[in-house]
Protein backbone atom coordinates (compact mmCIF):
# COMPACT_ATOMS: atom_id res chain seq x y z
CA UNK A 1 0.00 0.00 0.00
CA UNK A 2 1.30 3.45 -0.88
CA UNK A 3 1.19 6.27 1.67
CA UNK A 4 -1.88 8.43 1.30
CA UNK A 5 -3.87 11.35 2.68
CA UNK A 6 -7.66 11.34 2.84
CA UNK A 7 -9.61 14.59 3.10
CA UNK A 8 -13.38 14.43 2.55
CA UNK A 9 -14.83 17.33 4.51
CA UNK A 10 -18.28 17.44 2.84
CA UNK A 11 -21.21 17.62 5.29
CA UNK A 12 -23.78 15.21 3.80
CA UNK A 13 -27.52 15.12 4.39
CA UNK A 14 -28.98 12.15 2.49
CA UNK A 15 -32.54 10.92 2.02
CA UNK A 16 -36.13 11.91 1.42
CA UNK A 17 -36.68 15.68 1.49
CA UNK A 18 -32.98 16.27 2.19
CA UNK A 19 -33.23 19.43 0.08
CA UNK A 20 -35.32 20.99 2.86
CA UNK A 21 -32.10 21.12 4.92
CA UNK A 22 -30.38 23.45 2.45
CA UNK A 23 -31.12 26.68 4.33
CA UNK A 24 -30.02 25.21 7.65
CA UNK A 25 -26.78 23.89 6.18
CA UNK A 26 -25.99 27.11 4.36
CA UNK A 27 -26.44 29.00 7.64
CA UNK A 28 -24.38 26.44 9.56
CA UNK A 29 -21.51 26.96 7.14
CA UNK A 30 -21.60 30.72 7.38
CA UNK A 31 -23.66 31.83 4.37
CA UNK A 32 -24.76 35.45 4.41
CA UNK A 33 -24.92 36.18 0.70
CA UNK A 34 -25.30 33.27 -1.72
CA UNK A 35 -24.93 33.00 -5.48
CA UNK A 36 -27.10 30.11 -6.71
CA UNK A 37 -25.99 28.41 -9.94
CA UNK A 38 -28.24 26.10 -11.95
CA UNK A 39 -28.51 24.51 -15.39
CA UNK A 40 -30.82 24.58 -18.37
CA UNK A 41 -34.09 24.76 -16.47
CA UNK A 42 -34.97 21.36 -14.96
CA UNK A 43 -34.80 22.83 -11.45
CA UNK A 44 -37.05 25.74 -12.44
CA UNK A 45 -39.60 23.35 -13.92
CA UNK A 46 -39.57 21.02 -10.90
CA UNK A 47 -39.92 23.88 -8.42
CA UNK A 48 -36.67 22.92 -6.66
CA UNK A 49 -35.03 26.30 -7.29
CA UNK A 50 -38.00 28.14 -5.78
CA UNK A 51 -38.01 25.87 -2.75
CA UNK A 52 -34.27 26.41 -2.17
CA UNK A 53 -34.70 30.18 -2.49
CA UNK A 54 -37.51 30.12 0.06
CA UNK A 55 -35.32 28.28 2.52
CA UNK A 56 -32.54 30.82 2.18
CA UNK A 57 -35.14 33.56 2.74
CA UNK A 58 -36.30 31.82 5.90
CA UNK A 59 -32.75 31.84 7.25
CA UNK A 60 -32.32 35.53 6.38
CA UNK A 61 -29.68 34.73 3.75
CA UNK A 62 -29.48 37.12 0.79
CA UNK A 63 -29.30 35.44 -2.61
CA UNK A 64 -29.19 35.90 -6.34
CA UNK A 65 -28.94 33.36 -9.13
CA UNK A 66 -27.46 32.58 -12.51
CA UNK A 67 -28.71 29.77 -14.76
CA UNK A 68 -27.91 28.35 -18.16
CA UNK A 69 -25.11 25.89 -17.37
CA UNK A 70 -24.92 23.34 -20.20
CA UNK A 71 -23.80 19.71 -19.93
CA UNK A 72 -19.99 19.73 -20.47
CA UNK A 73 -19.77 23.00 -18.52
CA UNK A 74 -18.28 25.93 -20.43
CA UNK A 75 -15.50 28.28 -19.37
CA UNK A 76 -17.30 31.50 -20.36
CA UNK A 77 -20.30 30.87 -18.11
CA UNK A 78 -18.01 29.94 -15.21
CA UNK A 79 -16.17 33.26 -15.68
CA UNK A 80 -19.50 35.10 -15.81
CA UNK A 81 -20.65 33.36 -12.63
CA UNK A 82 -17.39 34.37 -10.93
CA UNK A 83 -18.06 37.99 -11.89
CA UNK A 84 -21.62 37.72 -10.56
CA UNK A 85 -20.27 36.41 -7.26
CA UNK A 86 -17.91 39.38 -6.99
CA UNK A 87 -20.61 41.90 -7.89
CA UNK A 88 -23.07 40.40 -5.41
CA UNK A 89 -20.36 40.12 -2.71
CA UNK A 90 -21.33 36.47 -2.29
CA UNK A 91 -19.63 34.60 0.51
CA UNK A 92 -20.91 31.19 -0.65
CA UNK A 93 -21.87 29.57 -3.94
CA UNK A 94 -24.73 27.09 -4.08
CA UNK A 95 -24.90 24.62 -6.97
CA UNK A 96 -28.39 23.26 -7.65
CA UNK A 97 -27.94 20.54 -10.26
CA UNK A 98 -25.49 17.92 -11.49
CA UNK A 99 -21.81 17.69 -12.32
CA UNK A 100 -21.82 20.49 -14.87
CA UNK A 101 -23.49 22.92 -12.47
CA UNK A 102 -21.30 21.91 -9.53
CA UNK A 103 -18.15 22.23 -11.66
CA UNK A 104 -19.22 25.69 -12.79
CA UNK A 105 -19.78 26.60 -9.15
CA UNK A 106 -16.32 25.33 -8.20
CA UNK A 107 -14.72 27.34 -11.00
CA UNK A 108 -16.68 30.46 -10.07
CA UNK A 109 -15.65 29.95 -6.43
CA UNK A 110 -12.01 30.02 -7.49
CA UNK A 111 -12.26 32.91 -9.90
CA UNK A 112 -14.27 35.11 -7.50
CA UNK A 113 -11.41 35.28 -5.00
CA UNK A 114 -8.53 35.19 -7.47
CA UNK A 115 -9.58 38.13 -9.59
CA UNK A 116 -6.10 38.94 -10.81
CA UNK A 117 -5.71 35.57 -12.48
CA UNK A 118 -7.33 34.27 -15.67
CA UNK A 119 -9.50 31.27 -14.82
CA UNK A 120 -8.12 29.21 -17.73
CA UNK A 121 -4.55 29.93 -16.57
CA UNK A 122 -5.47 28.55 -13.16
CA UNK A 123 -7.23 25.58 -14.81
CA UNK A 124 -4.32 24.66 -17.07
CA UNK A 125 -1.80 25.25 -14.28
CA UNK A 126 0.01 28.00 -16.15
CA UNK A 127 0.18 29.72 -12.76
CA UNK A 128 0.50 28.28 -9.24
CA UNK A 129 -2.67 26.83 -7.72
CA UNK A 130 -4.63 29.36 -5.66
CA UNK A 131 -4.85 28.87 -1.91
CA UNK A 132 -8.38 30.19 -1.49
CA UNK A 133 -11.86 29.83 -2.96
CA UNK A 134 -15.39 30.62 -1.84
CA UNK A 135 -17.12 27.69 -0.13
CA UNK A 136 -19.45 25.68 -2.39
CA UNK A 137 -22.65 23.99 -1.24
CA UNK A 138 -24.57 21.49 -3.40
CA UNK A 139 -28.16 20.40 -3.91
CA UNK A 140 -27.62 17.31 -6.06
CA UNK A 141 -30.15 16.44 -8.77
CA UNK A 142 -28.34 13.63 -10.62
CA UNK A 143 -26.01 10.84 -9.50
CA UNK A 144 -23.11 10.67 -11.91
CA UNK A 145 -20.01 12.84 -11.72
CA UNK A 146 -19.41 12.55 -7.98
CA UNK A 147 -18.52 16.24 -7.98
CA UNK A 148 -20.58 16.70 -4.79
CA UNK A 149 -17.65 15.20 -2.82
CA UNK A 150 -14.75 15.35 -5.23
CA UNK A 151 -11.81 17.73 -5.33
CA UNK A 152 -12.14 18.13 -9.07
CA UNK A 153 -14.06 19.97 -11.75
CA UNK A 154 -14.10 19.86 -15.53
CA UNK A 155 -14.54 22.78 -17.94
CA UNK A 156 -14.64 23.05 -21.71
CA UNK A 157 -12.94 26.06 -23.27
CA UNK A 158 -15.40 26.75 -26.06
CA UNK A 159 -12.86 28.80 -28.01
CA UNK A 160 -10.39 25.92 -28.37
CA UNK A 161 -12.69 22.90 -27.91
CA UNK A 162 -10.42 21.65 -25.12
CA UNK A 163 -12.14 19.95 -22.17
CA UNK A 164 -9.94 19.80 -19.12
CA UNK A 165 -10.15 18.64 -15.53
CA UNK A 166 -8.72 20.48 -12.54
CA UNK A 167 -8.21 19.15 -9.00
CA UNK A 168 -7.57 20.99 -5.75
CA UNK A 169 -8.72 20.17 -2.21
CA UNK A 170 -10.09 23.66 -1.54
CA UNK A 171 -12.86 23.19 -4.12
CA UNK A 172 -14.41 20.17 -2.40
CA UNK A 173 -18.00 21.12 -1.52
CA UNK A 174 -18.54 22.15 2.10
CA UNK A 175 -21.97 20.47 2.18
CA UNK A 176 -24.21 18.45 -0.09
CA UNK A 177 -27.87 17.55 0.20
CA UNK A 178 -28.91 14.43 -1.65
CA UNK A 179 -32.50 13.37 -2.11
CA UNK A 180 -32.71 10.39 -4.50
CA UNK A 181 -36.33 11.33 -5.25
CA UNK A 182 -35.06 14.42 -7.09
CA UNK A 183 -33.89 11.98 -9.78
CA UNK A 184 -37.45 10.85 -10.62
CA UNK A 185 -37.58 13.56 -13.31
CA UNK A 186 -34.34 12.47 -15.03
CA UNK A 187 -34.45 11.35 -18.66
CA UNK A 188 -33.50 7.64 -18.81
CA UNK A 189 -30.39 8.27 -20.89
CA UNK A 190 -29.06 10.54 -18.16
CA UNK A 191 -29.49 7.75 -15.59
CA UNK A 192 -27.54 5.45 -17.91
CA UNK A 193 -24.76 8.01 -18.45
CA UNK A 194 -24.53 8.51 -14.70
CA UNK A 195 -24.31 4.78 -13.94
CA UNK A 196 -21.49 4.36 -16.48
CA UNK A 197 -19.61 7.33 -15.02
CA UNK A 198 -19.91 5.97 -11.47
CA UNK A 199 -18.63 2.52 -12.51
CA UNK A 200 -15.82 4.16 -14.47
CA UNK A 201 -14.67 6.27 -11.51
CA UNK A 202 -13.96 3.04 -9.65
CA UNK A 203 -12.56 1.11 -12.65
CA UNK A 204 -10.14 3.96 -13.39
CA UNK A 205 -8.79 3.50 -9.86
CA UNK A 206 -9.00 -0.32 -9.77
CA UNK A 207 -6.63 -0.93 -12.69
CA UNK A 208 -3.41 0.15 -11.09
CA UNK A 209 0.19 -1.04 -11.05
CA UNK A 210 0.22 -1.00 -7.22
CA UNK A 211 -0.22 -4.45 -5.69
CA UNK A 212 -1.76 -5.38 -2.36
CA UNK A 213 -4.29 -3.00 -0.85
CA UNK A 214 -6.93 -5.54 0.09
CA UNK A 215 -9.33 -3.17 1.85
CA UNK A 216 -9.36 -0.67 -1.01
CA UNK A 217 -9.99 -3.55 -3.44
CA UNK A 218 -12.87 -4.92 -1.38
CA UNK A 219 -14.49 -1.49 -1.12
CA UNK A 220 -14.09 -0.95 -4.86
CA UNK A 221 -15.46 -4.40 -5.75
CA UNK A 222 -18.45 -3.92 -3.42
CA UNK A 223 -19.16 -0.55 -4.97
CA UNK A 224 -18.94 -1.99 -8.48
CA UNK A 225 -21.29 -4.89 -7.62
CA UNK A 226 -23.73 -2.36 -6.19
CA UNK A 227 -23.65 0.11 -9.07
CA UNK A 228 -23.98 -2.60 -11.70
CA UNK A 229 -26.98 -4.31 -10.08
CA UNK A 230 -28.74 -1.22 -8.69
CA UNK A 231 -27.83 0.96 -11.67
CA UNK A 232 -29.53 -1.40 -14.07
CA UNK A 233 -32.58 -1.58 -11.77
CA UNK A 234 -32.79 2.23 -11.65
CA UNK A 235 -32.46 2.43 -15.43
CA UNK A 236 -35.24 -0.10 -15.93
CA UNK A 237 -37.47 1.54 -13.32
CA UNK A 238 -36.58 5.23 -12.85
CA UNK A 239 -39.06 5.58 -9.98
CA UNK A 240 -37.40 2.86 -7.85
CA UNK A 241 -36.38 4.99 -4.85
CA UNK A 242 -34.26 2.25 -3.24
CA UNK A 243 -32.24 1.62 -6.40
CA UNK A 244 -31.77 5.36 -6.97
CA UNK A 245 -30.58 5.73 -3.35
CA UNK A 246 -27.88 3.12 -3.90
CA UNK A 247 -26.86 4.77 -7.16
CA UNK A 248 -26.68 8.21 -5.57
CA UNK A 249 -24.49 7.09 -2.69
CA UNK A 250 -22.28 5.11 -5.08
CA UNK A 251 -21.83 8.32 -7.06
CA UNK A 252 -20.29 10.13 -4.10
CA UNK A 253 -18.15 7.27 -2.80
CA UNK A 254 -16.82 6.30 -6.22
CA UNK A 255 -15.21 9.69 -6.70
CA UNK A 256 -14.31 11.06 -3.27
CA UNK A 257 -11.00 9.17 -3.29
CA UNK A 258 -12.08 6.21 -1.15
CA UNK A 259 -11.91 3.56 -3.90
CA UNK A 260 -8.39 4.52 -4.91
CA UNK A 261 -6.64 5.02 -1.58
CA UNK A 262 -3.07 3.78 -1.32
CA UNK A 263 -2.51 3.34 -5.04
CA UNK A 264 -1.84 5.21 -8.26
CA UNK A 265 -4.97 5.98 -10.29
CA UNK A 266 -5.20 5.59 -14.07
CA UNK A 267 -7.96 7.78 -15.61
CA UNK A 268 -6.84 7.28 -19.23
CA UNK A 269 -10.40 6.70 -20.47
CA UNK A 270 -11.52 9.95 -18.88
CA UNK A 271 -8.77 11.86 -20.69
CA UNK A 272 -9.59 10.20 -24.02
CA UNK A 273 -13.30 10.76 -23.43
CA UNK A 274 -12.79 14.45 -22.66
CA UNK A 275 -11.23 14.85 -26.12
CA UNK A 276 -14.40 13.45 -27.71
CA UNK A 277 -16.62 15.66 -25.53
CA UNK A 278 -14.52 18.75 -26.27
CA UNK A 279 -14.73 18.07 -30.01
CA UNK A 280 -18.33 16.79 -30.35
CA UNK A 281 -20.05 17.74 -27.08
CA UNK A 282 -20.44 14.00 -26.40
CA UNK A 283 -22.19 13.29 -23.07
CA UNK A 284 -19.49 12.33 -20.56
CA UNK A 285 -20.86 8.86 -19.72
CA UNK A 286 -21.23 7.98 -23.42
CA UNK A 287 -17.64 9.01 -24.15
CA UNK A 288 -16.48 6.53 -21.49
CA UNK A 289 -18.59 3.52 -22.48
CA UNK A 290 -17.56 4.04 -26.11
CA UNK A 291 -13.87 3.73 -25.25
CA UNK A 292 -13.45 1.49 -22.22
CA UNK A 293 -13.62 -1.87 -24.03
CA UNK A 294 -10.94 -0.83 -26.54
CA UNK A 295 -8.70 0.54 -23.79
CA UNK A 296 -9.16 -2.66 -21.77
CA UNK A 297 -8.32 -4.95 -24.71
CA UNK A 298 -5.24 -2.85 -25.49
CA UNK A 299 -3.80 -2.97 -21.97
CA UNK A 300 -5.12 -6.10 -20.24
CA UNK A 301 -2.04 -8.21 -20.97
CA UNK A 302 -0.06 -5.91 -18.66
CA UNK A 303 -1.81 -7.71 -15.79
CA UNK A 304 -4.40 -10.23 -16.99
CA UNK A 305 -4.80 -11.57 -13.46
CA UNK A 306 -6.15 -8.18 -12.37
CA UNK A 307 -8.79 -8.22 -15.10
CA UNK A 308 -9.63 -11.85 -14.31
CA UNK A 309 -10.00 -10.95 -10.62
CA UNK A 310 -12.31 -8.06 -11.53
CA UNK A 311 -14.44 -10.46 -13.60
CA UNK A 312 -14.62 -13.03 -10.83
CA UNK A 313 -15.32 -10.60 -7.96
CA UNK A 314 -17.67 -8.18 -9.71
CA UNK A 315 -19.37 -10.29 -12.37
CA UNK A 316 -19.11 -13.77 -10.82
CA UNK A 317 -17.20 -15.09 -13.86
CA UNK A 318 -16.34 -18.71 -13.13
CA UNK A 319 -13.46 -19.37 -15.54
CA UNK A 320 -10.18 -20.77 -14.28
CA UNK A 321 -7.94 -19.77 -17.17
CA UNK A 322 -6.63 -16.26 -16.48
CA UNK A 323 -6.62 -14.95 -20.03
CA UNK A 324 -10.09 -16.30 -20.81
CA UNK A 325 -11.46 -14.88 -17.56
CA UNK A 326 -9.90 -11.48 -18.31
CA UNK A 327 -11.43 -11.37 -21.78
CA UNK A 328 -14.79 -12.50 -20.43
CA UNK A 329 -14.67 -9.66 -17.87
CA UNK A 330 -14.18 -7.10 -20.65
CA UNK A 331 -17.02 -8.59 -22.71
CA UNK A 332 -19.33 -8.69 -19.66
CA UNK A 333 -18.66 -5.01 -18.93
CA UNK A 334 -19.50 -4.09 -22.52
CA UNK A 335 -22.69 -6.14 -22.27
CA UNK A 336 -23.61 -4.11 -19.19
CA UNK A 337 -23.16 -0.89 -21.20
CA UNK A 338 -25.42 -2.34 -23.91
CA UNK A 339 -28.03 -3.29 -21.29
CA UNK A 340 -28.08 0.43 -20.45
CA UNK A 341 -28.42 1.25 -24.18
CA UNK A 342 -25.05 2.97 -24.04
CA UNK A 343 -22.53 3.06 -26.92
CA UNK A 344 -19.54 0.71 -26.92
CA UNK A 345 -17.68 2.25 -29.88
CA UNK A 346 -17.11 5.65 -31.49
CA UNK A 347 -19.38 4.73 -34.41
CA UNK A 348 -22.33 4.59 -32.01
CA UNK A 349 -21.74 8.18 -30.85
CA UNK A 350 -23.63 11.02 -32.51
CA UNK A 351 -21.04 12.06 -35.16
CA UNK A 352 -20.32 8.42 -36.07
CA UNK A 353 -17.10 6.80 -37.32
CA UNK A 354 -14.24 9.31 -37.69
CA UNK A 355 -11.46 9.78 -40.25
CA UNK A 356 -7.99 8.63 -39.31
CA UNK A 357 -6.79 12.25 -39.41
CA UNK A 358 -9.34 13.15 -36.76
CA UNK A 359 -8.25 10.19 -34.63
CA UNK A 360 -4.65 11.44 -34.80
CA UNK A 361 -5.78 14.94 -33.86
CA UNK A 362 -7.61 13.62 -30.79
CA UNK A 363 -4.54 11.61 -29.75
CA UNK A 364 -2.26 14.58 -30.28
CA UNK A 365 -4.44 16.75 -28.06
CA UNK A 366 -4.83 14.04 -25.37
CA UNK A 367 -1.06 13.63 -25.07
CA UNK A 368 -0.21 17.33 -25.51
CA UNK A 369 1.63 16.58 -28.73
CA UNK A 370 3.15 13.32 -27.43
CA UNK A 371 4.81 15.07 -24.48
CA UNK A 372 2.91 13.21 -21.76
CA UNK A 373 2.00 9.59 -21.22
CA UNK A 374 -1.50 8.81 -20.01
CA UNK A 375 -2.37 6.53 -17.12
CA UNK A 376 -0.41 4.33 -14.76
CA UNK A 377 -1.69 0.77 -15.32
CA UNK A 378 0.05 0.83 -18.69
CA UNK A 379 1.24 4.35 -19.50
CA UNK A 380 0.19 5.19 -23.07
CA UNK A 381 2.07 7.47 -25.47
CA UNK A 382 0.57 9.07 -28.56
CA UNK A 383 0.95 5.96 -30.76
CA UNK A 384 -0.76 3.84 -28.10
CA UNK A 385 -3.57 6.37 -27.83
CA UNK A 386 -4.03 6.37 -31.61
CA UNK A 387 -4.23 2.57 -31.46
CA UNK A 388 -6.91 2.67 -28.74
CA UNK A 389 -9.01 5.26 -30.60
CA UNK A 390 -8.64 3.23 -33.83
CA UNK A 391 -9.83 0.07 -32.07
CA UNK A 392 -12.95 1.96 -30.94
CA UNK A 393 -13.51 3.68 -34.29
CA UNK A 394 -16.09 1.37 -35.85
CA UNK A 395 -19.78 0.66 -35.79
O1 LIG B 1 -29.43 21.57 -17.14
P2 LIG B 1 -30.68 20.97 -16.62
O3 LIG B 1 -31.93 21.53 -17.20
O4 LIG B 1 -30.71 20.93 -15.12
O5 LIG B 1 -30.69 19.43 -17.14
C6 LIG B 1 -29.64 18.53 -16.83
C7 LIG B 1 -28.71 18.24 -18.01
O8 LIG B 1 -29.40 18.38 -19.23
C9 LIG B 1 -30.26 17.17 -16.59
N10 LIG B 1 -30.70 16.99 -15.21
C11 LIG B 1 -29.93 16.98 -14.09
N12 LIG B 1 -30.69 16.69 -13.04
C13 LIG B 1 -31.97 16.53 -13.48
C14 LIG B 1 -31.98 16.74 -14.88
N15 LIG B 1 -33.10 16.65 -15.62
C16 LIG B 1 -34.24 16.35 -14.98
N17 LIG B 1 -34.30 16.10 -13.65
C18 LIG B 1 -33.18 16.18 -12.87
N19 LIG B 1 -33.26 15.89 -11.56
O20 LIG B 1 -29.23 16.25 -16.86
C21 LIG B 1 -28.39 16.76 -17.88
C22 LIG B 1 -26.93 16.48 -17.51
O23 LIG B 1 -26.52 17.26 -16.43
P24 LIG B 1 -24.97 17.30 -16.02
O25 LIG B 1 -24.83 18.16 -14.84
O26 LIG B 1 -24.16 17.60 -17.23
O27 LIG B 1 -24.71 15.75 -15.65
P28 LIG B 1 -23.55 15.06 -14.87
O29 LIG B 1 -23.80 15.09 -13.41
O30 LIG B 1 -23.36 13.76 -15.54
O31 LIG B 1 -22.23 15.96 -15.10
C32 LIG B 1 -21.42 15.80 -16.23
C33 LIG B 1 -20.27 16.77 -16.16
O34 LIG B 1 -19.45 16.50 -15.02
C35 LIG B 1 -18.09 16.28 -15.44
C36 LIG B 1 -18.27 15.70 -16.82
O37 LIG B 1 -17.09 15.73 -17.57
C38 LIG B 1 -19.35 16.59 -17.38
O39 LIG B 1 -18.82 17.81 -17.79
N40 LIG B 1 -17.37 15.47 -14.45
C41 LIG B 1 -17.05 16.05 -13.31
C42 LIG B 1 -16.31 15.40 -12.34
C43 LIG B 1 -15.94 16.05 -11.08
N44 LIG B 1 -16.20 17.33 -10.94
O45 LIG B 1 -15.37 15.43 -10.17
C46 LIG B 1 -15.81 14.03 -12.55
C47 LIG B 1 -16.44 13.32 -13.68
O48 LIG B 1 -15.54 12.34 -14.14
C49 LIG B 1 -16.86 14.16 -14.83
O50 LIG B 1 -15.77 14.37 -15.71
ZN1 LIG C 1 -16.37 10.74 -14.92
Calculate what percentage of the chain has a pLDDT beyond 70.
100
Give the confidence band of 110 by pLDDT, cuts at 50, 70, 90: very high
Q: How far apart are CA 103 and CA 369, in angstroms?
A: 27
Question: CA angle, corner 339, sides to 337 and 345, nearest 5?
Answer: 35
Q: How far apart are CA 374 and CA 378, in angstroms?
A: 8
Classify strands 152-157 and 162-167 as parallel, antiparallel or unpaired: antiparallel
Calculate what percentage of the chain has a pLDDT beyond 90.
99
pLDDT for 224 equals: 98
Beta-bridged to residue 12, according to DSSP, are 176
Model confidence over 14-24: pLDDT tens digits? Answer: 999 999 999 99
Mean pLDDT of 355-360: 98
Mean pLDDT of 76-100: 98
pLDDT for 261 equals: 95
Among 75, 142, 276, the mutation site with the greatest number of ligand 1 atoms within 8 A of its Cβ is 142
Model confidence over 218-260: pLDDT tens digits? Answer: 999 999 999 999 999 999 999 999 999 999 999 999 999 999 9
Give the confidence band of 209 by pLDDT, cuts at 50, 70, 90: very high
Q: How far apart are CA 73 and CA 384, in angstroms?
A: 29
Q: Are 224 and 314 in contact (CB under 8 A)?
A: yes
Mean pLDDT of 302-321: 98
Q: Distance, CA 161 to ligand 1 centroid (Å)?
A: 18
Atom of ligand 1 nearest to the CA of 255: 45
Model confidence over 159-194: pLDDT tens digits? Answer: 999 999 999 999 999 999 999 999 999 999 999 999
Model confidence pTM above 0.85? yes
Question: Looking at ligand 1, which residue's alpha carbon is closest to its atom 36?
Answer: 284
Amino acid sequence: MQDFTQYTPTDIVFGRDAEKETGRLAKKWGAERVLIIYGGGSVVKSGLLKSVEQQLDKEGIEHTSIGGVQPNARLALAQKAGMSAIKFKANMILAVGGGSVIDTAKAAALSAVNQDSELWDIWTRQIPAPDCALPVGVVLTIAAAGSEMSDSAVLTNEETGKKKGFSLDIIRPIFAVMDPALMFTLPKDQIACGVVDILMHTLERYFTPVEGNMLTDEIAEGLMRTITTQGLKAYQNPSDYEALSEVMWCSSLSHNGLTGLGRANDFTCHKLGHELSGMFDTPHGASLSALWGSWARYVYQTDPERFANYGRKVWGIDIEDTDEAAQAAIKRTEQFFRDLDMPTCIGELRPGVQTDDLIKKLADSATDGDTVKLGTFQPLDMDDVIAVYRMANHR
